[in-house]
Amino acid sequence: MLCAGLLAGCQTVEQFSIDYMLPAKVSFPASLKRVGVVNNMPPIPDNQLIVDRPPREEGEFARRTNYYNGDGKITTEALADALADGNYFDQVVICDSALRAGDVIQRESILSAEEVDRLVSQLEVDFLIALENIQMRTIRRINYVEGLDAYDATLDVKVYPLVRVYVPRRSASMTAILSTDSIFWDATGLTMESANARLISDKQMITEASHFAGSVPVKDLLPHWKRGDRYYFAGGSVNMRDAAVYVRKGQWSDAVALWKKEYDTRKHPKQKMQAAYNLAFGYEMQDSITTAFRWIDQAQQLAYRVDDVEAKRQDGGTVEEWAVPDYAETVRYYLELKERNDGLMRLNVQMQRIKDEDDNL
């Protein structure tokens, strides 16, 4: 939508997809090289439904919301596999048994210091990552699709895995992470009953969603890759068109030089904004994130003037109602570059572990 708004201003805009790395929420000391992954969930008999809210009928639309406990064993195994695939730790060891399977009475799920020390010794690891809980919220919808004269059944599942990190000789966990993500299924049928019957069963859903949930906390535990879409202005002047040719060839320094020339020579705020925006993109592609962040900040200030945002604020209404395509796009890019810039130091620290290992090879 943002790109469409920019195109509406008689300016050629090109899209470019990039992959970049973001830091984890947790930074592990370099001495923690071997991790044990354990299942510390309470026993859940037969994965019984927690809550069943009756469906709501709204015309041709039916909806039911349910809450389930996930399968701790499946999630723990998937978590261990995902951590091993990350190649961040020297060794990932899984404890197959459920630590609380023999509990006679309910107790706090947090592992005691004695339990942590014993498990670390038995597994021959430096620390533990424990699955403490996995819950699921499911929304099952059936909707009549008028153009197809059929029913569309969907199942949206949001998973909430809770993990804790334990290190030996500490009285409490190092940190607790509650992650969330969604997985989706759909099916169609000529009747509501047939569409619902073709949808994945609750039993199979719990199995597959529990496996999916194991991968969810990894983005909070390990540095991870993210795919993003970038846009750049590719027309309006000879410099901008020539720079676009350099972009397609991957010659970023040449493109940046032309964009800088465009920025320095142009007087109109919109043209300067476009050049500044492209400079942010060009420096990001050269991994100069701090410089890119400075340029997108400049582009955002110029776009504020170009779209006359101050006057629109005084007129009232909501941001969605304002016609501010340039400003909206610079804000979007500003926030993405801010995320990268804010995490840059933490990412460098986290990746130092891998650099040190490569240097020792």
All domains in the chain, ordered by first residue: 2-19+226-360 (1.25.40.10), 34-223 (3.30.160)
Distances (CA, A) of 124 to 37, 93, 112, 224, 270: 12, 9, 18, 27, 62
Given a contact cutoff of 8 angstroms between Cβ atoms, the answer to whether 33 and 360 are in contact is: no
Could you tell me the end-to-end alpha-carbon distance of the chain, in angstroms, rounded to an integer? 48
At residue 174, the pLDDT reads 92
At residue 55, the pLDDT reads 56
* Stated pTM of the model: 0.80
Q: In angstroms, rounded to a whole number, what is the distance separating the alpha carbons of residues 117 and 237? A: 67
Query: Could you tell me which residues come within 8 angstroms of residue 15 by beta carbon, excluding any fewer than 6 positions away?
Result: 3, 229, 230, 231
Tens-binned pLDDT, residue by residue, of the chain (361 aa): 444 444 444 468 999 999 999 999 999 998 999 999 999 987 766 666 666 666 555 544 578 889 999 999 999 999 999 999 999 999 999 987 767 655 555 555 789 999 999 999 999 999 999 999 999 999 998 988 888 889 999 999 999 999 999 999 988 899 999 999 999 999 999 988 899 899 999 999 999 999 999 999 999 999 999 999 999 999 889 999 999 999 999 999 999 999 999 999 999 999 999 999 999 999 999 999 999 999 999 999 999 999 999 988 888 877 667 788 999 999 999 999 999 999 999 999 999 887 766 555 5
At residue 122, the pLDDT reads 94
At residue 5, the pLDDT reads 46
